[in-house]
A and B are shown apart, each in its own frame.
Chain A
Amino acid sequence: MLQIRNLFKAALKSLLKNSTRSLLTSLGIIIGVSAVIVMVAIGEGAQTVIEEGINSLGTNLIIVFPGVSQSGGVSRGAGSFNRFTFDDVEKIKKEATLLRGISPVVRAGGQIIGGSGNWFTSVYGVSPEYFEIRNWEIDKGAFFTERDDRSSKKVALLGATVAKQLFPDEDPTGQQIRIRNTPFTVIGVLKAKGQSGMGADQDDVILAPSTTVLYRLRGGRWVDMLNASAASAATNKRAQEELRSILREAHRLNEGDDDDFTIRDQEEIAETASETSRVMTLLLGSIAAVSLIVGGIGIMNIMLVSVTERTREIGIRLSVGARSSDVLVQFLTEAIVLSLFGGLVGIILSVGISYGLNRFTDLHAIINPHIIWISFLFSGAVGVFFGFYPARKAAALNPIDALRYE
């Protein structure tokens, strides 16, 4: 075998003899590679944004939804529709060892009147532990306390969106609002969280003590759902198991009865959301990969032209003792050098484009280091694949015919 270094030197030399053409040929690969990298970077950026949204939901969040009670596959019907009570919450608080916090969530919606206008939004009745579970931070004022919750105090915390709608120009803290005609005192404004992973505005909400919402706004004794957080990510699954057995006991379910509630954790919610963006990334990447293949065809085309043009040169090389494998390797090397050069420039270009996108647009592009060497190797593979046919054509030439070629 001839020395690889010499082969690359010879390939480089003959490519430089036609530098404009070589540059234009690798342009196809440059565009293809940078398109793949930028598209995947945008996809990954979107995924990160979604994941951040999911994380803002809370830390090691566990959500318990009520469900229809069943016994051995026989539904007990609508009457058995089970929700939770404050007693359930108390029992969990007393017995659970793997939870950092647990809060009931009592939902009430309604027209809010106060400040400069009115606004329709959701009111969540929660316990103070909810703030930590869902990672809420206070912007102005203060959270309500355990005592406020126990005494059903009519206090409310406004989400950033609600605060902006009702009190665009003044500090809402200490102001009176009326939720479904019940007067509440605003004791604080929550720090904005932005959109959730699913695109809902998390700041369009009012938080109030759970007992206040249940007794003064909603009535009845049912809690809509429970929010809890596990002590750590590692104990998350065990915490869910513990929660499940406590709730089964509280609901007096016999062995063999199905759960009359559903426990879901943040991970499952996150998976659903990032699945969508993963499909998007894949789709974008595939479309870009098509352009890389088109670039490869460009290389094949030019290499075919080059083989025809250089038939005489091939004849000369054969006559001075090049084996046909030497000719094959020579043309293959040229194709690989072209595509690797294209790949390298494409990578540099894509880094620049991603930087520009992050800096000057709302798009978020994150370049995964893996994609860089994968696309570099892939561009090399494109060179081998599309360079092989022209190279084989060159190697198959007969020295006499090649020397006579005009």
Chain B
Amino acid sequence: MNAVIETKKLTKTFHMGDVAVHALRGIDLVVEKGEFLAIMGASGSGKSTLMNLLGCLDEPTSGEYYLDGKSVAGMSKNEYADIRNQKIGFVFQGFNLLARTSALENVELPLFYDRTRRIRNPKAAALEALERVGLGTRVKHHPNTLSGGEQQRVAIARALVNQPAIILADEPTGNLDTRTSIDVLSVFQELNDQGITVILVTHERDLAQYAKRIIEMRDGHVLRDARVGNRRIASVDLAEFHDDGAYELE
């Protein structure tokens, strides 16, 4: 077995004044290398909290978390930052690109903070990442001159550039129309086919069908954990949209 992520009894409790909110109540999760996992659940189910813990943006209250075989618990803030830098690529709902900064520079950003300097030529690596998401011709464009789908592709390229162990995507299609959503998912599927582990947080059941495995959360527990039976292929669905001609707004 080749687990990229393994959590044991992971809990997270927030304190709002005197009230303790148990966002996560003991999550046991194993994600293998090369998986495409969708985390589903209504708001308040704890999926965002889990996402933050997996992404090393936040520390668990208790439990164990092994990322790429290494225990993450009890690390310093700087070590957390370095893990985010080298092991994880984030894709957010709101794209979260730096404004008035070219696509290329946005993608280079993680390499700027990479203290290992394992990537010799940041610019070349960034160009390659943009190429991989199909934006090789728009590297000089600023985010405000790119469509929503293109912006999200830039964000995916940024998540890729550091050769992370996993890509964490938090509602990556929340701001996009259906066609563009499927378009973005086709990028994720393509990357997953190339062996990259992807975790997708979404509340849309339709979109979760593009993953290989779905876990459903409720009240801080994993409610269901199942393989996707009839997996959808984004590139196929996309072709239908083109035939339709109805979804050309981006």
Residues of A within 8 A of B86 (CB): 321
Interface residue stretch chosen among A68-76, A242-250, A300-308, A311-319: A311-319
B99 contacts which chain A residues (CB < 8 A)?
313
Segment from B76-84, B126-134, B144-152, B171-179 that makes contact with A: B76-84
In chain B, positions 77-114 with a C-beta closer than 8 Å to chain A are: 77-78, 81-86, 90, 92, 96-101, 109-110, 112-114
Kindly state the separation between the CA atoms of A159 and B230 in the bound complex, as whole angstroms.
116
Contacts of B101 in A (CB 8 A): 13
Taking CB atoms, residues of chain A closer than 8 Å to B114 are: 321
Tell me if B158 counts as interface (CB < 8 A to partner A). yes
**Residue-wise interface mask of A (324-342) relative to B, using a CB-CB cutoff of 8 A (1 in contact, 0 not):** 1110000000000000000
Nearest Cβ in chain B — how far from A333, in angstroms?
13
Q: Say yes or no: A17 contacts B100, CB within 8 Å.
A: yes
CB B109 to nearest CB in A, in angstroms, measures 5
Distance A224 CA – B78 CA, assembled complex (angstroms) = 83
Q: Does B57 contact A (CB under 8 A)?
A: yes
Say yes or no: is A6 at the interface (Cβ < 8 Å to chain B): yes
B90 near A320: Cβ-Cβ < 8 Å: yes
| Interface assignment of B52: CB less than 8 Å from any CB of chain A | yes
Task: Check: B250 CB closer than 8 A to any chain A CB.
Answer: no
Q: Which of B55, B57, B77, B100 contacts A323 (CB 8 A)?
A: B77
Taking a contact as CB atoms under 8 Å apart, the answer to whether B96 and A315 are in contact is yes
Say yes or no for A400: interface residue by CB 8 A criterion: yes
- Which residues of the partner chain B approach A400 to less than 8 Å between Cβ atoms? 52, 57-58
A390 within 8 A of B: no
Q: Which residues does chain B contribute within 8 Å of A383, judged by CB atoms?
A: none
Contact B52 A320 (CB under 8 A): no
Query: A325: which B residues are within 8 A, CB to CB?
Result: 78
- Is the CB of A2 closer than 8 A to any CB of chain B? yes
A138 vs B57: C-alpha distance in the bound complex, in angstroms? Answer: 89
- Please provide the chain A residues from 239 to 264 with a CB less than 8 Å away from any CB of chain B in the complex: none
What is the bound-complex CA distance between A399 and B92, given in angstroms?
13
A315's closest neighbor in chain B, by CB?
B96
A372 to chain B minimum Cβ distance, whole angstroms, is: 35
Min distance, Cβ B84 to any Cβ of chain A, angstroms: 5
Contacts A313-B98, A316-B98; A403 near B110 (Cβ below 8 A): no
Bound CA span A326–B83, Å:
15
Residue of B81, B96, B113, B158 ringed by the most chain A CB atoms within 10 A: B81
**Across the interface, do A6 and B112 meet the contact criterion of CB distance under 8 Å?**
yes
The answer to whether B92 touches A320 (Cβ under 8 A) is: no
Q: Are A320 and B85 in contact (CB under 8 A)?
A: yes
Q: A315-B96, A316-B97, A321-B85 are in contact. List 6 more A-B contacts (CB 8 A).
A: A2-B112, A6-B112, A313-B99, A321-B83, A324-B77, A400-B52
A residues near B (Cβ < 8 Å) are: 2, 6, 10, 13, 17, 312-313, 315-326, 399-400, 403
Can you give 14 contacting A-B residue pairs, CB < 8 Å?
Answer: A13-B101, A312-B96, A313-B99, A317-B109, A319-B90, A319-B96, A320-B110, A321-B82, A321-B84, A323-B78, A323-B82, A324-B81, A400-B52, A403-B96
